[in-house]
Chains A and B, each alone.
Chain A
Amino acid sequence: MIKAEHVGYIYQKGTPFEHRALYDINLEIADGTLAAVIGHTGSGKSTLIQHFNALIKPTEGRVIIDGTDITNPKTDLRLIRRAVGLVFQYPEHQLFEETVYKDIAFGPATMGLDKAEIDERVRLGARLAGLREEHLQRSPFELSGGQKRRAAIAGVLAMEPKALILDEPTAGLDPKGRDAMLSVIKKLHEENKDMIIIFVSHSMEEVAGIAERVIVMNEGRVEIDGTAEEVFANAERLRRIGLNAPQMALLADKLRAAGYDLPENIYTVEQAAAAVKKLIGGNTGA
């Protein structure tokens, strides 16, 4: 479980460049949750998630990972970082080894595992990230953008973290790469029932498709926190902070306003298509 209690964070405290990124954040994320953090640039999303694996420590308040307080100076931060895997924006920029295999092995190797175990972890990480066997012996720089990114994620997964945090995993990918990435996340969630997965996103469509819990950030505060349904029900509030409910939800709203009888909870293209099909089917069938 990841818990934030009254977390506040100030960048470059005590200099003329000091600025506050987070105000009084309170969150509790239970094991097995697939959560999305959404918000504008500068809303504090990235700062918040870096607290979850102790890369930055809160200026105020506490962050507790599985009962361990990261602000306690006696805490071994390396254990926290193993438990919580963090994938940064554009993680492909961190690749550095000659082969994908060696790069994925970097994390497990720093944990001091033996060769056989490292090999096992590399293959597991690659499989979870949706890489094929033949990719492993290639140079990471020969892969496509989406594959590079999945290779970098495999490097984190190979450490077998209990929680995985991804900062904008789909940024800069083409639609195909984006879909592949989202299905990797979805599959990870389905196959690892206890794993916490948190991903940051700009796109309501992505979030609507897979997240169970949505945390909306605005100007360093948690604006709305709840299930996808609960969050998207606040269309007006989302608009006020410059975000939009998913396009399909807006479309369904318009159709409802025009007198069509559509069910609630339409957020994805699939749901909208099914509802419209049912509506048309029902009409023509009668």
Chain B
Amino acid sequence: MLRDVVIGQYVPGKSPLHRMNPPLKMILMIAYIAVLFVIKSAAAYALFTVCAVTLIMISGVSVGMILKGIKPILYIVIFTALLNIFMTTGEVMWSASVFGLTLRITKEGVTAGALLTARLIYLVTGTSLLTLTTPPLQLTDGIERLLKPLNKIKVPSHEIAMMMTIAIRFIPTFSEEADKIKKAQTARGADFESGGLIKRARAMTPLLVPLFISAFRRADELAEAMEARCYRGGGNRTKMKEQHITAFDIKAAVIFVLAAVLILLAEFWIEI
């Protein structure tokens, strides 16, 4: 059921992106998004495209996998692009009258639509690159590391990360379980596909009740298992696998920052 969602899926590999320190990777990802939202000019976008494509090629993740990640937002992209193309005022390129409505395509609209499409696609591509190249547990570990300074203002960073870890850990389990229960009820004649909205919602009962029961059962079992091993949350906990910043990470960060500076230069200098 959840197999088509690419964000949160991890593709094992040995690329430089896979080897990077996760907290650093997340900081760079935030920078990537910031740059993406600052740039507006075609020149900057062209440079950004070069960088994004290079990142995908370095990651070793197949293009098909990346495209699959774009699929769920495809309608939003098309919708916003169309809105921009038709609703922006400016120099008219083409116009027609349909059912008394005047449709206009403006030069500014086309540019805005294209840029917005590119922005949305790069946004999803970039963020899915992060999750595609970082194992989920390292990702939550990284989040814990990034939230650590907030401990001073009583933000329970370890607990937040632990909750995320458990949630991520159980996505495949519950997805499998939902699949199994669905199959079992289908074998008993349950029909999840046909009928109107209300009928279909009601048809979910035989799926949801067992799923909730099993979620509570698993939560109980997990809590007990953690208690039995004397788990006591965040205070002074050490890690078996520490995430260190290496020379390689520093090199990667420098390259990344240089690329960002180049893109921003293209944005603010070339136009003038």
Contacts and interface: CB of A to CB of B under 8 A. Distances in A.
Contact of A96 (B3, B11, B186, B209): B209
A12 interface: yes
Interface stretch (A82-90, A177-185, A190-198, A240-248): A82-90
A111 interface: yes
Contacts of A7: none
Nearest to B180: A88
Contacts of B184: 86, 88, 91, 93-94
A216 interface: no
A93 B210 contact: yes
Given A55-B183, A55-B186, A94-B184, A110 B191 contact: yes
Contacts of A50: 183
B151 interface: no
A81 B183 contact: no
A106 B210 contact: no
B206 interface: yes
B185 A82 contact: no
Nearest to A165: B187
Q: Taking each of B3, B181, B184, B191, which has the highest tally of chain A beta carbons within 10 Å of its own beta carbon?
A: B184
A156 interface: yes
A82 B187 CA distance: 8
A12 B11 CA distance: 15
Given A94-B210, A106-B206, A53 B187 contact: yes
A53 B183 CA distance: 11
Contacts of A106: 188-190, 206
Interface string B159-203: 000000000000000000100110111111111000000000000
B238 interface: no
Contacts of A141: 213
Interface residues of B, number: 22
A95 B3 contact: no
A16 interface: yes
A16 B60 CA distance: 13
A12 B3 CA distance: 10
Contact of B187 (A12, A86, A95): A86
Contacts of B189: 78, 81-82, 106-107, 110-111, 159
Chain A residues touching B, majority SS: helix
A96 B187 contact: no
Nearest to B181: A94
A155 interface: yes
A86 to B, nearest CB: 4
B210 A110 contact: no
A174 to B, nearest CB: 19
- Between B3, B187, B210, the greatest number of chain A beta carbons within 10 A of the residue's beta carbon is seen for B187
B89 interface: no
B214 A93 contact: yes
B11 A107 contact: no
A33 to B, nearest CB: 20
A95 B210 contact: yes
B205 interface: yes
B38 to A, nearest CB: 35
B210 A81 contact: no
Contact of A94 (B11, B62, B191, B206): B206
Nearest to B189: A110
Contacts of A111: 189
A156 B187 contact: yes
Contacts of A85: 187
Given A16-B11, A16-B62, A55-B183, A96 B205 contact: yes
Given A12-B3, A110-B191, A94 B186 contact: no
B13 to A, nearest CB: 10
A221 to B, nearest CB: 24
A93 B181 contact: yes
B114 to A, nearest CB: 31
Contacts of B185: 94
A83 B2 CA distance: 30
Q: Of residues B62, B186, B189, which shows the largest number of chain A Cβ atoms within 10 Å of its Cβ?
A: B189
Nearest to B11: A16
A16 B62 CA distance: 9
30 contacts: A12-B3, A16-B11, A16-B62, A16-B65, A50-B183, A55-B187, A78-B191, A81-B186, A81-B189, A86-B184, A86-B187, A88-B184, A93-B181, A93-B184, A93-B210, A94-B206, A94-B210, A96-B206, A96-B213, A106-B190, A106-B206, A107-B189, A110-B188, A110-B189, A111-B189, A155-B188, A156-B187, A156-B188, A159-B188, A159-B189
Interface of A: 12, 16, 50, 53, 55, 78, 81-82, 85-86, 88, 91, 93-96, 106-107, 110-111, 141, 155-156, 159
Given A93-B184, A94-B210, 17 more contacts: A12-B3, A78-B189, A81-B186, A86-B184, A91-B184, A93-B177, A93-B181, A94-B184, A94-B188, A94-B206, A96-B206, A96-B210, A96-B213, A106-B190, A111-B189, A141-B213, A159-B188
